[in-house]
């Protein structure tokens, strides 16, 4: 395993400042100080992530990033007159996100958010050459090191999204159709639960057979991720019908639809960050499909109730 001291010994000595720090005004020094704190916070976050990663290669990569970020933060000490001081609260939040959602997601989210934090310092690039140099080095290193990271969770995002997408469309349509047909939250929940269990098993089995037919050795794991995402979505959509009284079926459906939007927002945000995909367009498309199916099923349930003369 690569240690911090070993990496530090290979880190190049920081150059002397190319601009007299005394020539900078208070606003410029504040922008550089914010830049320095941002880089130092990233270094701390990478080191915290590395401490919780089991894979030796990924741990070494994250520790290497942390060491190089520390060196980058130290470049600004002559300008700020202070040693790098990371925001440990923010670093710990990134580390917790990495533990729950994967370090690739946390790293990319951190990279996305740092752009806003460093906007003021980037405006100084023409005057302070170190800004452009450090940014260019970070971009180059980021591409190289992210290519070295190998995370199992990210490889199964497609399976999870498949399970979630199918559950949202199928179960949302089912519950919306049953709402006016049955007009009883308990009966709707029971019917939705039976449908959800059957659909979960079907989806998991289909994913397993598809993976096996492709010769993939991870068929069982892909099956578990797909089925797990489907089952979790089913449970979240059924909660309003399980909690509210029998006669509040319309309120339960309204809450269920709100939950659908939140689920779609969460999953699309995750995939947009982890896989560098556009968020708004995908989110809008999935909402339109899911809510459109729900609306169609809702009126179809009412039509069937009237035509068939069902009175539950």
How sure is the predictor about 305, in pLDDT bands with cuts at 50, 70 and 90? low
What is the chain's mean pLDDT, rounded?
78
Residue bearing the bigger pLDDT, 287 or 16: 287
Terminal CA-CA length for the chain = 66
How sure is the predictor about 13, in pLDDT bands with cuts at 50, 70 and 90? very low
- The model's pLDDT over 183-201, given as tens digits with 9 standing for 90+, comes to 889 999 999 999 999 988 9
Q: Which two tokens stand for residue 213?
A: 């037919």
pLDDT at res. 255:
93
Q: Compute the average pLDDT of residues 162-167.
A: 78
Q: Is the pLDDT of residue 235 over 90?
A: yes
Q: Which two tokens stand for residue 25?
A: 């005004």
Q: Compute the average pLDDT of residues 15-35.
A: 72
Tell me the C-alpha to C-alpha distance, in Å, between residue 123 and each of 4, 17, 27, 57.
Answer: 32, 17, 11, 37
* DSSP code of residue 255: H
Q: What is the pTM of this model?
A: 0.62
Q: Which of 62, 58, 159 is nearest to 110 (CA)?
A: 62
CA angle 290, 108, 230 (to 5 degrees): 30
Q: Is the pLDDT of residue 230 over 80?
A: yes
SS3 content of the chain, % helix, strand, coil (to 5): 80, 0, 20
Q: Is 215 left (phi over 0), alpha (psi -120 to 50) or beta?
A: left
Check if the beta carbon of residue 305 is closer than 8 Å to that of residue 181: yes
Residue bearing the bigger pLDDT, 244 or 141: 244
Q: Compute the average pLDDT of residues 250-270.
A: 88
Tell me what percent of the residues of the chain surpass a pLDDT of 90.
10
pLDDT at res. 193:
92
pLDDT at res. 241:
93
pLDDT at res. 263:
87
Q: Which two tokens stand for residue 93?
A: 């939040």
Q: Which of 130, 135, 132 is nearest to 18 (CA)?
A: 130
- The model's pLDDT over 35-74, given as tens digits with 9 standing for 90+, comes to 888 888 888 988 888 887 777 877 888 888 888 888 888 8
**Per-position DSSP letters for 148-192, written without gaps between them:** H---HHHHTHHHHHHHHHHHHHHHHHHHHHHHHHH--HHHHHHHH
Q: Which of 259, 279, 257 is nearest to 270 (CA)?
A: 279
Residue bearing the bigger pLDDT, 302 or 232: 232
The most confident of the ranges 101-110, 162-171, 186-195, 274-283 is: 186-195
Residues whose CB falls within 8 Å of the CB of residue 238, separated by 6 or more in sequence, listed in order = 171, 175, 189, 192, 193, 196
Q: Is the pLDDT of residue 161 over 80?
A: no
- The model's pLDDT over 136-159, given as tens digits with 9 standing for 90+, comes to 777 766 666 566 555 555 566 666
pLDDT at res. 9:
40
How sure is the predictor about 240, in pLDDT bands with cuts at 50, 70 and 90? very high
Residues whose CB falls within 8 Å of the CB of residue 121, separated by 6 or more in sequence, listed in order = 31, 32, 34, 35, 131
Q: Is the pLDDT of residue 31 over 60?
A: yes
Give the residue extent of every domain in the chain. Answer: 4-151, 156-308
Give CA–CA dist 108/200, Å, rounded: 31
Helices (H), 214-279: 219-243, 249-274
Q: How far is CA 241 from the centre of its chain?
A: 28
Check if the beta carbon of residue 32 is closer than 8 Å to that of residue 124: yes
């Amino acid at each position: 395993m690569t240690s911090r001291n070993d990496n530090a010994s290979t880190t190049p000595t920081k150059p002397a400042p190319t601009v007299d720090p005394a020539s900078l005004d208070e606003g410029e020094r504040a922008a550089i100080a914010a830049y320095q704190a941002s880089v130092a916070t990233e270094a701390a976050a990478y080191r915290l992530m590395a401490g919780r990663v089991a894979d030796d290669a990924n741990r070494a990569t994250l520790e290497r990033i942390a060491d190089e970020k520390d060196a980058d933060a130290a470049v600004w000490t002559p300008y700020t007159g202070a040693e790098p001081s990371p925001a440990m609260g923010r670093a710990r939040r990134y580390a917790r996100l990495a533990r729950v959602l994967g370090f690739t997601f946390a790293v990319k989210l951190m990279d996305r958010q740092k752009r806003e934090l460093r906007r003021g310092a980037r405006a100084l690039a023409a005057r302070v050459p170190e800004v452009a140099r450090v940014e260019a080095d970070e971009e180059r290193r980021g591409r190289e090191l992210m290519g070295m990271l190998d995370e199992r969770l990210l490889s199964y995002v497609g399976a999870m999204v498949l399970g979630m997408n199918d559950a949202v469309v199928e179960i949302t349509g089912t519950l919306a159709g049953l709402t006016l047909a049955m007009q009883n939250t308990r009966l709707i929940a029971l019917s939705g639960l039976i449908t959800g269990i059957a659909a979960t098993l079907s989806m998991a089995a289909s994913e397993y057979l598809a993976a096996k037919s492709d010769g993939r050795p991870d068929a069982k794991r892909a099956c578990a991720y797909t089925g797990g995402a489907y089952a979790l979505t089913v449970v979240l959509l059924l909660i309003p019908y399980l909690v509210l009284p029998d006669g509040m079926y319309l309120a339960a459906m309204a809450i269920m639809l709100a939950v659908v939007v939140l689920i779609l927002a969460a999953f699309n945000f995750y995939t947009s960050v982890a896989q560098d995909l556009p968020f708004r367009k995908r989110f809008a498309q999935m909402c339109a499909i899911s809510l459109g199916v729900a609306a169609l099923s809702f009126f179809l349930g009412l039509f069937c109730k009237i035509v068939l003369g069902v009175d539950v």
